[in-house]
């Protein structure tokens, strides 16, 4: 009974506080501002900020309800909570922005200063700008200014260059290991690619698909509670073995590509193992960086070509038993040799 009585008292007090502003509006008297979120019907730079009260929102926040859809939005020096949908762009200046799960923004959310908490994931593309831009008199709350404030392109370009440089360094280090541990096997695999590129590509494609299935199953086991704890050591070994196999196929393919380009320039078809690997890695690095700087599509196409050659190298590695026999796989498929033994 005591709890019910206290609840009724709280309800009556809330109703009393809400009736006073309503009476003041009906009488034409000014309403004192409150710290609670409220509906806003004014326009900021030609954009309407739509808001409704929300219990969890910061004080004075502009709120886009889950049932609300608006074209564009601009907010300055006030918190913003997006639960609903914005068809185009959102611009915030010195605002605390909270994006709820399920919210969507058709364009970009450009935040100049302030902070952004994005619980909607990829459904909302956030571009955070330097807070110093908030004092720029040329920035107004208008759609035209929202679309020109973009600073992510150089950052992506830097990431692209860094990724390609890291791939080059990794390949050069791997080439040193192959030159020391398996020079003959690598040469035999590269010759198998040249002898039968179609078969190498087909076997490599099937092998890659099988490895992806195994690695996906391995990852699922590693994240499966108590089973994952027991499986983790084996899973790490399996993932490392897969990486080594892929690396061997990739560098064997680079050896083949180096020989192929060398022949085009009238050089001998067989040269120094490490020199040819380094040569082809350098060519792909330059091609990926230059084409990627011109167009991301061209850069991805160049990288895809490198991946195709790597898949061919993987296929040739499987077909030769990783450089042990010229026709290791074929002999076992035809029944001329046992899988775990050399030719009969």
Give me the chain's average pLDDT, please.
Answer: 78
| Spatial CA neighbour of 188 closest among 68, 270, 278 | 270
Cβ neighbors of 178 (< 8 A, separation 6 or more) are: 186, 248, 251, 273, 274, 277
Predicted confidence (pLDDT) at residue 263 exceeds the cutoff of 60: yes
Helix (H) or strand (E) holding 2: helix 2-26
Q: What is the pLDDT of residue 215?
A: 93
As a whole number of angstroms, the distance between CA 166 and CA 308 comes to 19
Higher-scoring residue by pLDDT: 99, 262: 99
Q: Which token pair is 124? A: 């909302």
CB–CB of 63/51 below 8 Å?
Answer: yes
Strand order in the sheet with 69-70: 69-70, 85-86, 104-105
As a whole number of angstroms, the distance between CA 280 and CA 282 comes to 5
Helix (H) or strand (E) holding 81: strand 80-82
Spell out the domain ranges in the chain. 35-150, 153-333
CB–CB of 139/149 below 8 Å?
Answer: yes
Q: What is the pLDDT of residue 306?
A: 95
Q: What is the pLDDT of residue 229?
A: 85
Q: Which token pair is 230? A: 């027991």
What is the mean pLDDT of the segment spanning 98-119? 90
- φ, ψ for residue 321, nearest 5 deg: 65, 40
What are the tens digits of pLDDT across the range 113-162?
889 999 988 889 998 887 777 666 555 544 444 443 333 444 444 588 99
Question: Residue 312 CA to chain centroid, in angstroms?
Answer: 26
| CA atoms lying within 13 Å on the CB side of residue 170 | 14
Specify burial of residue 45 (Cβ count, 10 A radius: 0-12, 13-18, 19+): middle
Q: 57: pLDDT confidence band, cut at 50, 70 and 90?
A: low
As a whole number of angstroms, the distance between CA 213 and CA 217 comes to 6
As a whole number of angstroms, the distance between CA 72 and CA 94 comes to 18
Least confident residue range of 8-12, 113-117, 164-168, 184-188: 8-12
Positive or negative, the Cα torsion across 298, 299, 302, 304? negative
Q: 197: pLDDT confidence band, cut at 50, 70 and 90?
A: very high
């Amino acid at each position: 009974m005591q709890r019910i009585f206290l609840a009724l008292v709280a309800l009556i007090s809330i109703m009393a506080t809400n009736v006073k502003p309503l009476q003041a509006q009906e009488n034409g008297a000014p309403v004192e501002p409150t710290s609670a979120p409220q509906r806003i019907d004014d326009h900021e730079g030609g954009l309407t900020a739509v808001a409704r009260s929300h219990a969890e929102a910061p004080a004075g926040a502009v709120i886009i309800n889950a049932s609300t859809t608006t074209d564009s939005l601009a907010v300055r020096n006030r918190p913003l909570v997006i639960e609903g949908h914005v068809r185009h762009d959102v611009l915030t200046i010195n605002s605390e922005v909270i994006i709820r799960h399920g919210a969507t923004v058709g364009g970009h959310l450009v935040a100049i200063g302030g902070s952004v908490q994005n619980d909607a994931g990829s459904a909302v593309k956030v571009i955070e700008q330097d807070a110093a831009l908030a004092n720029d008199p040329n920035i107004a709350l208008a759609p035209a200014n929202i679309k020109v404030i973009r600073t992510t392109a150089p950052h992506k370009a830097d990431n692209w260059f860094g990724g390609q440089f890291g791939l080059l360094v990794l390949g050069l280090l791997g080439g040193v290991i192959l030159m020391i541990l398996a020079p003959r096997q690598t040469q035999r695999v590269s010759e198998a690619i040249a002898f039968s590129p179609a078969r190498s590509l087909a076997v490599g494609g099937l092998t890659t698909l099988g490895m992806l299935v195994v690695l996906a199953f391995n990852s699922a086991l590693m994240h499966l509670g108590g089973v994952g704890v027991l499986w983790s050591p084996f899973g790490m070994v399996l993932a490392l073995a897969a990486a080594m196999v892929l690396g061997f196929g990739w560098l064997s393919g680079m050896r083949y590509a180096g020989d192929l380009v060398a022949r085009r320039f009238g050089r001998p078809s067989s040269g120094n193992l490490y020199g040819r690997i380094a040569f082809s890695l350098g060519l792909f690095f330059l091609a990926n960086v230059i084409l990627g700087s011109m167009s991301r599509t061209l850069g991805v196409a160049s990288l895809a070509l490198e991946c195709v050659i790597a898949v061919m190298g993987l296929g040739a590695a499987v077909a030769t038993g990783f450089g042990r026999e010229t026709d290791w796989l074929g002999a076992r498929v035809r029944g001329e040799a046992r899988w775990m033994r050399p030719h009969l």
